[in-house]
Amino acid sequence: MTHNRCLGSPPLRRTAGLARVNRMPDKSLKVLAVVGSLNKNSATRVVINHVAAELASQRCAVDVLDFLHQPLALYNPDSAHQLESYSPLKERVEHADVYVLGTPDYHGSISSALKNFLDHFWHEFAGKLFATIVASHEKGLTVTDQLRTVARQCYAWSLPYGVSFVDREDVREGRVVSDALKKRLDMFIRDVRVYGELLAAQRRADLSGTDAGFLARLRK
Ligand SMILES: Cc1cc2nc3c(=O)[nH]c(=O)nc-3n(C[C@H](O)[C@H](O)[C@H](O)COP(=O)(O)O)c2cc1C
């Protein structure tokens, strides 16, 4: 599996300037931005790509994972870890300090595409930050809460709020159009960067230290 730089279709072209993970200095914040919709005209993808491009312009190393372009087999605990595609994906997940997770609201829940991705991993998420974006006509609060539950189960942190938006109002023709969403995303991007860096530094210190703490169990 190669890293998806999303250079193909028009809404994704905006991310052409995304920092390549391997070229970034080690100290930059590493963000894995996940598009949890398989819809080819997905509003979630537009917003994720907007956030990814902004974070890249603020010197973060951003990797966009889009299952439309890189399908991920349904998680099977007996075989998933043996698939050829698993190791490269695991590397990308391990490499990240922050996960920006985008999903549509499906019946008050996260999408199966995003859930499937999350099911493949757990301790890789420990001590890292989840930051969530939900496309919903109803604020997506239950969806946000579900992602917070996954974060807690995996010993990950989550931002104390989520972003939600309404597809046809906030996003049009492959762009974020509403000032309200742009403003909220500016705050989100700033918080991802600032809290992501703080948590990543503490995680590194905890992994190399000797203190008691929840990350002690992940020391090598
Ligand atoms: C199967 C399905 C279930 C949905 N359930 C809800 C729902 O419960 N609440 C809601 O607000 N929107 C619901 N929607 C609407 C989507 O969340 C909405 O259209 C979203 O913007 C789609 O995101 P996307 O363009 O990134 O795929 C549903 C859509 C589908 C296809």
Note whether residue 78 is domain-resident.
Answer: yes
Tokens matching residue 147: 């992602």
Could you tell me the residue range of the domain that residue 114 belongs to? 10-218
Q: How far is the CA of 108 from the centre of ligand 1 (A)?
A: 9
Q: How far is the CA of 81 from the centre of ligand 1 (A)?
A: 30
Question: Of 83, 93, 37, which Cα lies nearest the Cα of 63?
Answer: 93
The whole-number pLDDT of residue 27 equals 61
CB contact at 8 A, 106 and 112: yes
% of residues, the chain, pLDDT over 90: 87
Pocket residues: Cβ below 6 A from ligand 1: 37, 39, 42-44, 104-108, 135-138, 167
Q: What is the pLDDT of residue 26?
A: 57
Nearest in space to 99 (alpha carbons), one of 64, 138, 143, 47? 64
pLDDT band at 148 (very low <50, low <70, confident <90, very high): very high
Position 11 pLDDT exceeds 70? no
Residue 177: the pLDDT is 98
State in Å: Cα 74 to ligand 1 middle. 21
Cα–Cα distance measured from residue 167 to residue 138, given in angstroms and rounded to the nearest whole number: 11
179 contacts: CB under 8 Å, gap ≥ 6: none
Task: For residue 48, give both structure tokens.
Answer: 């994720």
Mutate to test the pocket of ligand 1, among 41, 107, 165, 178 (most ligand atoms within 8 A of CB): 107
- pLDDT bracket for residue 220 (50, 70, 90): confident
Query: Looking at the domain assignment, is residue 108 inside a domain?
Result: yes
CATH code (residue 100): 3.40.50.360
Checking if the pLDDT of 23 tops 90, the result is no
pLDDT above 50 for 12: no
Q: Is residue 65 part of a domain?
A: yes
Question: 43 lies in a domain?
Answer: yes
Any domain includes 3: no
With the most atoms of ligand 1 within 8 angstroms of its CB, the residue from 46, 105, 167, 181 to mutate is 105
**Residue nearest ligand 1's atom 28 by CA:** 106
Q: How far is the CA of 66 from the centre of ligand 1 (A)?
A: 18
| Lowest mean pLDDT segment, chosen from 7-21, 28-42, 151-165 | 7-21
The protein residue with its alpha carbon nearest to ligand 1, atom 4, reads 106
Percent of the chain scored above 70 by pLDDT?
88
Residue 26 CA to ligand 1 centre (angstroms) = 38
pLDDT at res. 173: 96
pLDDT at residue 168, as a whole number: 93
pLDDT tens column, 70-90: 999 999 999 999 999 999 999
Answer for the pair 154, 127: CB distance below 8 angstroms, yes or no: no
Ligand 1 atom 25: residue of nearest CA: 42
Three-state DSSP at 211 gives coil
Taking only the tens place, the pLDDT of each residue in 117-138 is 999 999 999 999 999 999 999 9
> What is the amino acid identity at position 49?
N
Please tell me the total count of domains within the chain.
Answer: 1
The pLDDT value recorded for residue 22 is: 41
Query: By the 8 A CB rule, do 132 and 159 touch?
Result: yes
Q: Say which residue the tokens 């992501």 belong to.
A: 196
Q: Residue 157 falls within a domain, yes or no? A: yes
* Residue 71 within a domain: yes
Q: Is residue 158 part of a domain?
A: yes
Give the pLDDT of residue 14: 35
How many angstroms separate the alpha carbon of residue 167 from the centre of ligand 1? 9
The two three-digit tokens of residue 218, written as one number: 């992940």
Which residue has its alpha carbon closest to ligand 1 atom 17?
Answer: 105
Query: Across all residues in the chain, what is the average pLDDT?
Result: 90
3-state helix/strand/coil string of 95-127? HCCEEEEEEECECCECCHHHHHHHHCCCHHHCC
Please report the DSSP string for 30-77 in residue order: EEEEEE----TT-HHHHHHHHHHHHHHHTT-EEEEEETTTS--PPP-T
pLDDT of residue 140: 97
111 alpha carbon to ligand 1 midpoint, in Å?
A: 9
Report how far residue 68's alpha carbon sits from residue 219's, in angstroms, rounded to the nearest whole number: 35
CB 83 within 8 A of CB 73: yes
